[in-house]
A and B are shown apart, each in its own frame.
Chain A
Amino acid sequence: MLRCDQLTEVATDYLEGGDLSLSERGEIFLHLRCCRDCRTYLSQIRAIIRLLRELPAPSPSPAISDALIAYFRRAQAAPVRNSSQPSAKHTAID
């Protein structure tokens, strides 16, 4: 019989559908049916994943976008350079 501490160690494998055998998945299923605390634990992990998706996304400032477009335009016009020339690149963007 799977123990509560063991369930917390396989929670990600369970949610990911990872390397668990059919019998291991069965043990988890049976444990969850009779253990409210572990159901709560798993629901909390799911809640964390949902919350992480809610985090605000940073967007580029118009100035950065314009500078990158300008860099792209110059790169198209110029012959191919060695990409290990950071000084030229920083001048282009700064």
Chain B
Amino acid sequence: MLAQLRAGDESAFSEIVHRYHSTLMRLAIAFHPNRAFAEEMVQDTWMAVVDGLASFRGQSSLKTWICRILSNRAKTRLVREGRMIPLSALQSSEADEPAVDETRFLSNASWAQAPQGFGDQSPESRLMLKEAIGCLLRALGGLPVNQRTVVTLRDVEGLEAEEVCNILGIGETNQRVLLHRARSKLRQALEGHRIGA
């Protein structure tokens, strides 16, 4: 694919745009949930990809490289505009957050009130699925940006931890902490919604 792109093969370029555009849009929205911002970031990224093809050394996958371009551009812009705090400033506070509020546990640390609402079963109807997805999207929008970018790449896009670390420029431990906090908050947001069980 890379050789075809460097040779100027338009169908190869069209193919990667279709293959990775949704990933880039989701990642851009994860950085800043604003459609205009996301579209601008994604367009800028594709143009940087075109301009940078000759210098791409193939040290990561094409997808990782493209996503990293977007990540770097989005972070630079959001930090400059004061909409994003550098990751290093958030690490300690995020690591200290409990996955479940401590009031949910008795003094012996067992559940005071069992987890409510949904479980392993599939949603019972399309309406329930739609409601659950709507709730999940709202909860995603409410996550801190560092958690949202990690959970978007890991769980929405299904990328491996190593790829996510590479794209976002974070360490494996931080990636896992952020993923854990994000999943915990999303679970909490959906608790009580009957999407099965």
Contact B17 A65 (CB under 8 A): yes
Number of A-B contacts (CB under 8 A): 147
Q: Mark A44-86, 1 if CB is under 8 A from B, else 0.
A: 1111110111111111100011011101110110001101001
CB within 8 Å of A: which of B79-137? 98-100, 102, 105, 108-111, 114-115, 117-120, 129, 132-133, 136-137
Contact A48 B187 (CB under 8 A): yes
User: What residues on B are CB-neighbors of A30 within 8 Å?
Assistant: none
Contact B50 A75 (CB under 8 A): yes
* B76 CB within 8 Å of chain A: no
> Which one of A12, A69, A86 lies within 8 Å of B14 (CB-CB)?
A69
* B48 CB within 8 Å of chain A: yes
The answer to whether A58 and B52 touch (CB under 8 A), given A44-B118, A44-B191, is no
User: What residues on B are CB-neighbors of A38 within 8 Å?
Assistant: 111
User: What residues on A are CB-neighbors of B17 within 8 Å?
Assistant: 60, 65, 68-69
A36 vs B43: C-alpha distance when bound (angstroms): 49
Contact A68 B43 (CB under 8 A): yes
The minimal Cβ–Cβ distance linking A59 to chain B, given in whole angstroms, is: 6
User: What residues on B are CB-neighbors of A58 within 8 Å?
Assistant: 21-22, 25-26
Contact B8 A76 (CB under 8 A): yes
CB within 8 Å of A: which of B1-28? 8, 10, 13-14, 17-18, 21-22, 25-26
Contact B10 A72 (CB under 8 A): yes
Give the size range of A's interface with the partner. 35 or more
User: What residues on A are CB-neighbors of B118 within 8 Å?
Assistant: 44, 47
A81 vs B50: C-alpha distance when bound (angstroms): 11
> Which one of A16, A51, A59, A69 lies within 8 Å of B133 (CB-CB)?
A51
* B47 CB within 8 Å of chain A: yes
CB within 8 Å of A: which of B38-67? 39, 43-44, 46-48, 50-52, 54
The answer to whether A57 and B137 touch (CB under 8 A), given A5-B109, A12-B179, A43-B119, is no
Contact A6 B109 (CB under 8 A): yes
> Which one of B21, B105, B119 lies within 8 Å of A44 (CB-CB)?
B119
User: What residues on A are CB-neighbors of B183 within 8 Å?
Assistant: 11-12, 45, 48-49
The answer to whether A9 and B99 touch (CB under 8 A), given A54-B129, A57-B22, A58-B25, is yes
Chain A to chain B contacts (Cβ below 8 Å), 16 pairs:
A4-B109, A5-B105, A9-B99, A12-B183, A13-B180, A35-B110, A46-B120, A47-B195, A52-B151, A52-B186, A55-B133, A59-B18, A64-B43, A71-B46, A71-B50, A92-B47
9 cross-chain pairs, A with B, having the tightest CB-CB distances, nearest first: A83-B51, A3-B109, A12-B180, A76-B8, A57-B22, A52-B155, A43-B120, A37-B111, A58-B25
